[in-house]
């Protein structure tokens, strides 16, 4: 369609309409009003994709599989999701929509609120093991992600930090929780190879090339309590770091 659309149509408010289609899926209207009603919605598409990804992993959520799960032809999906990337955006935002922000309403105790929020986030990421890697890789700008950001800003209001610092704190905490979820995931996946891994590490430690590693292993207490304990311990440190005033000294 090289026929350039004339600059009519009074671009939608302040939206910069550079040339053709916007890159962010959130900038495309879900429905324009003309033509037949779409048979599916973004939320139903995201739900179908999430169900597949939860059950069989992110790779299983291919365009074909998702379309089939919706009872649609493969290429019909491209009317809703111009690129596979955008499907991931929809999935992520749907996951971000699982929070119950009224139950997490700010209590005035900033640290406690953040702890609860982080635990909720970890639970969500455990429910959707594929999500952590995506959250790290992509910005997340859908309506639910914005709602999450807004909630975070509300919770951290009593901290005395300004907006920018609180957004940095959000990134820090978000990153930590995702990281931890990822760690749990690889640890669970690697449990089968733990035996050969232990042998490998043991041999590496005994090789003398890694003296400090060997020393650390010698004084290690493997279990160190249940897995949530180590999360809580690190979480507390990260919250402290995130809420620290901008220029301590």
Q: Which residues bind DNA (CB under 7 A)?
A: 31-40, 59-60, 62-65, 72-76, 78-80, 83-85
Least CB distance to a second copy at residue 200 (A): 6
Instruction: Tell me whether residue 59 or residue 168 sits nearer to DNA (CB atom).
Output: 59
List, in order, residues 6 or more apart from 86 with CB less than 8 Å away: 25
Query: Rounded to an integer, what distance in angstroms lies between the CA atom of residue 155 and that of residue 86?
Result: 30
Query: Rounded to an integer, what distance in angstroms lies between the CA atom of residue 92 and that of residue 113?
Result: 23
Least CB distance to a second copy at residue 12 (A): 9
Instruction: Tell me whether residue 73 or residue 143 sits nearer to DNA (CB atom).
Output: 73
Instruction: Tell me whether residue 65 or residue 116 sits nearer to DNA (CB atom).
Output: 65
Instruction: Tell me whether residue 8 or residue 209 sits nearer to DNA (CB atom).
Output: 8
Q: Report yes or no: 125 and 132 within 8 Å, Cβ to Cβ.
A: yes
Q: Report yes or no: 45 and 70 within 8 Å, Cβ to Cβ.
A: yes
108 binds, among a second copy, DNA, none (CB under 5 to 8 A by kind): none
- 13: DSSP letter: T
Instruction: Dig out the tokens for 193 from the structure.
Output: 């190879």
What separation, in Å, do the N-terminal and C-terminal C-alpha atoms of the chain show? Answer: 60
Least CB distance to a second copy at residue 143 (A): 8
39 binds, among a second copy, DNA, none (CB under 5 to 8 A by kind): DNA
Q: String of b and e for 27-44 (b: at least 16 CB within 10 Å)? A: ebeeeeeeeeeeebebee
Query: Rounded to an integer, what distance in angstroms lies between the CA atom of residue 59 and that of residue 57?
Result: 6
Instruction: Tell me whether residue 75 or residue 191 sits nearer to a second copy (CB atom).
Output: 191
Least CB distance to DNA at residue 228 (A): 34
36 binds, among DNA, a second copy, none (CB under 5 to 8 A by kind): DNA
Q: Report yes or no: 54 and 127 within 8 Å, Cβ to Cβ.
A: yes
Q: Report yes or no: 143 and 26 within 8 Å, Cβ to Cβ.
A: yes
Least CB distance to DNA at residue 69 (A): 12
136 binds, among DNA, a second copy, none (CB under 5 to 8 A by kind): a second copy
Q: Report yes or no: 89 and 25 within 8 Å, Cβ to Cβ.
A: yes
162 binds, among DNA, a second copy, none (CB under 5 to 8 A by kind): a second copy
83 binds, among DNA, a second copy, none (CB under 5 to 8 A by kind): DNA
Query: Rounded to an integer, what distance in angstroms lies between the CA atom of residue 110 and that of residue 199?
Result: 45
Least CB distance to DNA at residue 80 (A): 7
Instruction: Tell me whether residue 67 or residue 155 sits nearer to a second copy (CB atom).
Output: 155
């Amino acid at each position: 369609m090289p026929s350039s659309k004339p600059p009519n149509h009074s671009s939608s408010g302040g939206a910069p309409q550079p040339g053709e289609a916007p890159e962010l899926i959130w900038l495309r209207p879900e429905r324009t009003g003309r033509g037949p009603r779409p048979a599916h919605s973004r939320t139903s598409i995201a739900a179908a994709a999430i169900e597949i990804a939860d059950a069989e992993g992110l790779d299983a959520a291919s365009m074909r599989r998702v379309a089939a799960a919706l009872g649609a032809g493969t290429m019909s999906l491209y009317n809703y999701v111009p690129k596979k990337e955008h499907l991931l955006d929809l999935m992520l935002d749907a996951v971000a929509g699982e929070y119950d922000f009224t139950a997490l309403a700010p209590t005035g105790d900033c640290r406690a609120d953040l702890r609860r929020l982080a635990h909720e986030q970890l639970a969500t990421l455990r429910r959707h093991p594929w999500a952590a890697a995506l959250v790290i890789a992509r910005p997340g700008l859908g309506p639910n992600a914005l709602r999450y950001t807004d909630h975070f800003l509300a919770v951290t209001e009593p901290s005395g930090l300004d907006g920018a610092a609180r957004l940095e704190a959000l990134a820090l905490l978000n990153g930590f929780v995702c990281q931890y979820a990822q760690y749990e995931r690889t640890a669970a996946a690697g449990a089968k190879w733990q035996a050969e891994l232990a042998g490998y590490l043991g041999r590496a430690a005994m090789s003398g090339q890694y003296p400090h590693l060997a020393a650390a292993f010698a004084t290690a207490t493997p279990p160190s309590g249940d897995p949530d304990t180590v999360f809580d311990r690190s979480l507390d440190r990260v919250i402290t770091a995130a809420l620290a005033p901008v220029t301590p000294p």
